[in-house]
Chain A
Amino acid sequence: MRPDLITASGPLRREMEEVARRLRASTVKVQRRRSGGGSGIIWRPRGLIVTNAHVAPGPQAAVKLADGRVLIGTVTARDYEHDLAALWVEAHDLPAVMPGDSDALLVGQLVFALGNPRHIAGALHVGIVHAFGRTAAASGRRWVEADIDLPPGFSGGPLSDAAGYVIGVNSMAARDGRGFAVPSKTVEAFLSGLPEKAVPSQGLPHGLRQSGQTGRRRISES
């Protein structure tokens, strides 16, 4: 590819820094009492966090923001079939991501993943779109498959395109090295039924919606 784009001091390096900065600002760490946990994405400034259903299996989870604040996130919707969950935190001015159009993705396109692997806050991985997959089951769901490394801790975090638009929620990794993300269009459909703000008064789950069967055929834990 064009060597002038790749020189060490070229503009590309500054752009990469910018991508990392934006994604880190909008990605949270979702902490579980036992081991594991993962990441989450600030989807709306008024406190809506999107993550994987398997990252936030209980009614609440501790959410650590990039600025260090730890807030209690309350799960208000969960969809095991699409591996999505919505949490709300008490905050009104969070830096939300810009959702992109996952239907417009093309094979070869650059993608960036932000995650929180063990002991590291905000790690950036880079890859390209590998293919678009349907699950083995006949659910007709499409995945975004990327030629990108998604180790444990990346689940629930963002997959963005070269312009910084988030086109997926990272979900799992295959043994052959592919990373799988839930398409942003699927996320929008999942969220479209939710009220603007749904933080319950007593901290108890309110309007908890669970659809699809519990458990999924995951290729490997992410």
Chain B
Amino acid sequence: MNAGRRAQKAMQASAPRWPSGLVALSRELVDSVGQAGRSVVTVRGGDGLAASGVHWRRGVIVTADHALDRDDKIDVELPDGGIVRGALVGRDRKMDLAVLRIRAVGLPTARFGDAAALRVGHIVLAVGRHSERGLSASWGVISALGRRHAAAADGNRSIYLDLTIYPGFSGGPLVADGGRIVGINTLGSRGVALGIPNAVVEDAVSNLLQERRAWRD
């Protein structure tokens, strides 16, 4: 056996054996994408690029307000390929959030994590869903936690992200440990990547649903 083959065999012999730390981290990232992705949809609310959305509560989709060009003819594409009509409940322009109602047969709701446990430096994922390509992801770290939203309660800090919000990623989930959803991704002013923490999204969802109910009654 020549030196080159010996070198190659030596490299193979000393290759990381499962579960090395890097391989374990890699698997965790893959699992997190899959886990969170089960409740991620594609939202088509206008011509041009679609956005992502999260099945927040049964029959309720959260997405990005800026991705909805219009108030009707909004289509929601599900993970299994099905397409359902989304009925606009309301928009929160300040938060860049919009809430839709759908008939959600069999679609899992989001599994939430604790956004208050996030720290600067934690590795997180942004997950998006495209019509043809299915799930896609980007990764990075929490770069800062701050008080941006005047109405934010204690602990509901804006999440500044060092990761890429790809086209179509707005409205999709910010994902932390175990594939748990800790916020909704959006692009802030000057293109900074932001995560809106769960509690802030939850408030917006409750308010919009309540307004819609009040309007109907």
What is the interface of chain A, defined by CB distance below 8 A to chain B?
1-3, 5-6, 10-12, 15-16, 18-19, 22, 45-46, 92-96, 98, 106-110, 127-133, 145, 147, 161-165, 176-178
Q: Which of B4, B29, B121 contacts A109 (CB 8 A)?
A: B29
The distance in angstroms between the C-alpha atoms of A108 and B20, with both chains bound, is 17
Nearest Cβ in chain B — how far from A189, in angstroms? 21
Nearest Cβ in chain A — how far from B14, in angstroms? 8
The distance in angstroms between the C-alpha atoms of A203 and B164, with both chains bound, is 46
Q: Which of B69-77, B135-143, B199-207 contacts A (4 or more CB under 8 A)?
A: B135-143
Nearest Cβ in chain B — how far from A143, in angstroms? 11
Nearest Cβ in chain A — how far from B140, in angstroms? 9
What is the interface of chain B, defined by CB distance below 8 A to chain A?
2-5, 7-8, 11-12, 15-16, 18, 20-26, 28-34, 121-125, 130, 133-139, 163-164, 166-167, 176-177
Asked if residues B7 and A45 are in contact (CB atoms below 8 Å), the reply is yes
Asked if residues A19 and B22 are in contact (CB atoms below 8 Å), the reply is yes
Asked if residues A109 and B22 are in contact (CB atoms below 8 Å), the reply is no
The distance in angstroms between the C-alpha atoms of A147 and B136, with both chains bound, is 9
Asked if residues B136 and A94 are in contact (CB atoms below 8 Å), the reply is no
Asked if residues B5 and A45 are in contact (CB atoms below 8 Å), the reply is yes
The distance in angstroms between the C-alpha atoms of A162 and B16, with both chains bound, is 9
Task: Please indicate the chain B residues that have their CB under 8 angstroms from the CB of A130 in the complex.
Answer: 136-138, 166
Asked if residues A176 and B166 are in contact (CB atoms below 8 Å), the reply is yes
Nearest Cβ in chain A — how far from B18, in angstroms? 8
The distance in angstroms between the C-alpha atoms of A179 and B123, with both chains bound, is 20
Contact A108/B133 with A16-B22, A162-B22 known, Cβ cut-off 8 Å: no
The distance in angstroms between the C-alpha atoms of A108 and B140, with both chains bound, is 12
Closest to A4 in B: B21
Task: Please indicate the chain A residues that have their CB under 8 angstroms from the CB of B34 in the complex.
Answer: 108
Nearest Cβ in chain B — how far from A12, in angstroms? 4
Contact A163/B8 with A109-B26, A130-B138 known, Cβ cut-off 8 Å: no
Task: Please indicate the chain B residues that have their CB under 8 angstroms from the CB of A1 in the complex.
Answer: 25, 28-29, 32, 122-124, 176-177
The distance in angstroms between the C-alpha atoms of A131 and B11, with both chains bound, is 29
Task: Please indicate the chain B residues that have their CB under 8 angstroms from the CB of A178 in the complex.
Answer: 166
Asked if residues A108 and B32 are in contact (CB atoms below 8 Å), the reply is yes
Interface core residue of A2, A19, A98, A107 (most chain B CB under 10 Å): A107
Nearest Cβ in chain B — how far from A71, in angstroms? 14
The distance in angstroms between the C-alpha atoms of A110 and B8, with both chains bound, is 23
Asked if residues A107 and B8 are in contact (CB atoms below 8 Å), the reply is no
